[in-house]
Copies of this chain bind each other. A is one copy, B any other.
């Protein structure tokens, strides 16, 4: 399959590396420098501290993207999607898989005229070491689901996926994304502000009180149909990643922009439109925005 991957961040590099094993992969980067570096050095993957054989992929600056691939994987942050979506709408001829966190970007997808639109939820941990090297830390799965059209390309993905990089086809895109949104809404901001590893949220009895309250508010705002199922999933993720620092924790530590708008920003807007009080969501949204503002030094 001819696969195009938009985005040269950690997830874009990770997907390019693994999918290039059985497919013809082109990666589209924001800068020409990064494209040149990938074409020169090949794409490098570090896993379990071992540097694996570099992969051969074609790297192209995003300005030169033609939209001719069978499947385009959009691997940018949700806050970068606004600037890309009209180009995608105009050029994409094949199917598209969107990997953004949150739920706010779903309203953009209805504008796409292409026949098959998919969404995914990535449960891998990855860090970009430089423009052509990605480190694969947390080995997880990629969940995918159909937003529009036939699911044939997703089935193919889960069949051809290399070992160590599985794809799972989920029946309901909304449930899949909301499950991830709940996890991100509770674990990310709390760990980033309390400056603790994920597990502390359930092992420290005082933090666990906040954890439960925060889940409760998310469940209210999202009007979750089967709360126990979502809470269990949240607990399981927290236990499995107990020794990890969340992505938002690391973003704040490293002075990077976070995905707070895609996560709590979405829930805050939803709570306002539904006229539901969400004091903790409001609080942690402003805590994280305040941290980002501190960084700007204004």
Contact = CB atoms under 8 A, between A and B. Distances in A.
Contacts of A209: 282, 286
A163 interface: no
Contacts of A200: 290, 294
Contact of A207 (B213, B280, B282, B290): B290
A255 to B, nearest CB: 14
A210 B286 CA distance: 7
Interface in A252-298: 279-280, 282-283, 286-287, 289-291, 293-294
Contact of A289 (B206, B279, B286): B206
Interface residues of A, number: 22
Nearest to A284: B283
A21 interface: no
A161 interface: no
Interface string A85-120: 000000000000000000000000000000000000
Number of copies: 2
Interface in A181-204: 193-194, 196, 200, 204
Contacts of A294: 196, 200, 204
Contacts of A293: 204-206
Contacts of A282: 209, 213
B210 A283 contact: yes
A196 B286 CA distance: 14
Nearest to A285: B206
A205 B294 CA distance: 10
Contacts of A193: 193-194
A238 to B, nearest CB: 15
Interface of A: 193-194, 196, 200, 204-207, 209-210, 213, 279-280, 282-283, 286-287, 289-291, 293-294
18 contacts: A193-B194, A194-B290, A200-B290, A204-B293, A204-B294, A205-B293, A206-B287, A206-B289, A206-B290, A207-B290, A209-B282, A210-B283, A210-B286, A210-B287, A210-B290, A213-B283, A279-B279, A279-B283
Given A206-B290, A209-B286, A210-B290, 13 more contacts: A194-B290, A200-B294, A204-B290, A205-B293, A206-B287, A206-B289, A207-B290, A209-B282, A210-B283, A210-B287, A213-B283, A279-B279, A280-B283
